[in-house]
Amino acid sequence: MTSTTISEGQYNLFTDKTAVITGGTRGIGRAVSLKLARQGAKVLALYGRDSKSAGELDSIAKQEGLKIVCIKGDLCNDEKFSLVVEAIKAQASRIDFLVHCAASGVHRDAMDLTLKHLRWTFEINVFAIHHLLQSLVEMMPSGARVIGITSSGGTRVIPYYAAVGSSKGALEALFRHYAYELAPKGIAVNLVCPGLVLTDAVDAFPDRDARVEKAKQATPSGELVIPEDVAEMISFLCEPRSGQVIGQTIVIDGGKTLLS
C-alpha cells in the first residue's frame, strides 16, 4: 500500500495558501483536502449533498487541528452557486489552488443516454468548474494552480462510460485552453488521470467486480491506484517547483496504459 506519511519538511509547505476543492469531502477530493491541509493550507472543501461525509471530514480536521472548512452548495444551480462563491470569498482573500474533483454521471451505453443524462453529467463534470474558475480567477495570484481530474475514458472507449467519458474529453480540451490563456498570468493548469480508483463511484458500474478484477490483472504494479496516490501528485503540482508543468495530463495508473 502506498505510504501517505508527510515528511517533517512538508508540514508547512503550503502555509498561508488557500485551496478550493470541488467534491472535497469524499473519495479523491477528500484525500486531496487532507493532503493539502496537512501541509499547512487552508482548505475550502465544496460538496453537494452528502452531509455525513462532510461531518466526518470536519471531525478529522478538528482532531488534527487542520484548517478545513466544508461548504455545501449545488454548483449547477445558479442561486446556490452564487451562495457558494460568496461563502468562498468570505473565507479567503485569494485562491492559490483550485482543484476540480467533483464528478458524476450516468453509466449506460451511448444509445441508451437521453439528453437529460448528458446535461446532468456535463453540468457537474465540465460546466461547474468553468463557472467556478470564471468567478474566482481574479482572486488567483501568479503562482496559483488549477488542477482537474480526468480519466482514460476521455480518450478511450470504456463500457457504460459514454456520458462520463465524453465529459472528460470535453474537460481535457477546455483545460488545454485554460493552460494556454492563464500561463502568461503565472497560473499553471494541469490534469491528473488516475487509473481505476476504488472509491464509492466504482460501485455505480453494473459490472463493478469484473471491472476491478480486470484492472488488477492488467496493472503491471499489481496494485490499483488509491486516492492518496492522486493527492500526492496534486500536491506536487501545487508546489513552486512544478511551475513549468503546464497544460499536461499526468497519468497515475500503475503502468496499466502500457498494455492498452
Catalytically active residues, by annotation:
161, 168
Query: DSSP for 140-172?
Result: PPTT-EEEEE--GGGTS--TT-HHHHHHHHHHH
Three-point CA angle 86, 127, 80, nearest 5°: 30
How many Å apart are CA 108 and CA 117, to the nearest integer? 9
CA distances from 169 to 114, 150, 152 (A): 19, 8, 9
Helix (H, G, I), strand (E, B) or coil at 69: strand
Contacts of 258 (CB under 8 A, 6+ apart): 220
Specify whether the CB–CB gap between 160 and 206 falls below 8 A: yes
